Amino acid sequence: MGTVHARSLDPLPMQGPELGLQADDMDLGEPEHEEKQEVLENKDVVVQHVHIGGLGRTKEDILTYEIADVFRAKNLIDVMKKSHEARQRLLRLGIFRNVEVVIDTAEGADALPNGLDVTFEVKELRRMTGSYNTMVGNNEGSMVLGLKLPNVFGRAEKLTFQFSYGTKETSYGLSFFKPQPGHFERNFSVNLYKVTGQFPWSSLRETDRGVSTENTQISSNKNLFTLSALKISLLPQQKCSLIRFHLLIFLVLQVLSTSLWGGMLLPLGDKPSSIADRFYLGGPTSVRGFSMYSIGPQSEGDYLGGEVYWAGGLHLYTPLPFRPGRGSFGELFRTHFFLNAGNLCNLNYGEGPRAHLSKLAECIRWSYGAGIVLRLGNIARLELNYCIPMGVRSGDRICDGVQFGAGIRFL
């Protein structure tokens, strides 16, 4: 609860001139200490004043809702508890860097013998803050720059600009956030965005521009309205099912891992599925030994993806030979043996499910190999494998030999 100071609620009788001594500085013996403790903890108190110091551009009216509960405290323990809760609510506003709490006996002409004053010393955030970070996805990376103006109008509003530049996607976003005074969970936000995605394996570039507004109530229901510059959709155009299964078996120092992925895309109505929504296979994070997303239907060198797919993998991880760096950096590395397989195709609704299963069982691409894995925290990892692709079909692009992969989700 920050820094809390508490002094006796009843002044101690003293004779002669003011000596400038506090009760804590005097050795009054054990009985007096017990009496003081009884006074502090059990006597009814009244919170007479609540002060907030350190305010600059923040309007006081937005803060009165957050500290009002402190006046309802009836004893010192309750004052401390409610002051701590008020401090948490002030920090939740996202406009203060730090909040300290001081509880003291009331002062002034109207001070009561059991009166208390509570002071919140705050330090506001800067008018403008910036951020820079990098993000790693499945064989892709991006640089993210952010600019934030907290408490822009003095009532916990927030204006945020974000720019992201990546190997596959570039985006801009501008958002404005405003909470309802006294009910931070109830807030309103508006967002402007532009996202441009690159799909070089399909010679495709997709750009989305839009405006979205969000009104969040305390019941956690959200009224969301999105207006896209490309189209306005009231109903989903496609239905997608995706299944992933992973099984890990630990064998002393070895780990045997199996995984199975599958998905189906069902367009609604007579319109064909969009190339941007289809599934793609191949690459260092899925069926290794093939180039990125280079398995399946293609036209003039552009890969079109599929509406249904499956992929499976069997992996064996072992410590490095001779255990270099044992107990330290070497524990982040593992030797990796793998066997991958998968296939995808488009649906022909006149053929039926059995024909679709038959297509998925034909022309299976598979690969095997070995390599080294480096774990990056508990999220991402790097792989350097020697791959031998098999079941290659005309039009497939392979990566026969050394293949490098980086990502957060691997088959």
Is 90 exceeded by the pLDDT of residue 50? Answer: yes
Residue 161 pLDDT: 96
Q: How confident is the model at residue 227 (pLDDT cuts 50, 70, 90)?
A: very low
DSSP-derived secondary structure letter, 45: -
User: pTM for this structure?
Assistant: 0.61
SS3 195: strand
The Cα 246–Cα 303 span in angstroms is: 28
- Residue ranges in 46-142 assigned as alpha helix (H): 61-67, 76-92
Across the range 137-164, mean pLDDT stands at 90
Most confident by average pLDDT, 35-39, 92-96, 226-230: 92-96
Cβ-proximal residues to 361 (8 Å cutoff; 6+ apart), any chain: 343
Tell me, what's the pLDDT at 242? 57
% of the chain with per-residue pLDDT over 70 = 80
Whole-number pLDDT of residue 134? 83
Longest pairwise C-alpha distance within the chain: 106
- Residue 36: alpha-carbon gap to chain centroid: 48
pLDDT tier at 221, thresholds 50, 70, 90: very low
Which of helix, strand or coil describes residue 378? coil
Which of the residue ranges 95-99, 171-175, 358-362, 393-397 would you say has the lowest mean pLDDT? 358-362
For 98-125, what is the mean pLDDT?
Answer: 92
The dihedral sign for the CA sequence 61, 66, 67, 73: positive
| Cβ atoms 169, 144 nearer than 8 A | no
Sequence-separated (6 or more) residues with CB below 8 Å from residue 278: 265, 304, 305, 306, 307
pLDDT band, residue 298 (cuts 50/70/90): confident
H helices of 212-304, where?
A: none
Per-residue pLDDT reduced to its tens digit, 351-387: 777 777 888 888 899 999 999 999 987 788 899 999 9
**What pLDDT sits at residue 247?**
64
Q: What is the pLDDT of residues 236-260, one digit of tens each?
A: 344 455 566 656 665 556 888 999 9
- State the pLDDT at residue 6: 39
- For residue 85, pLDDT over 90 is answered with yes
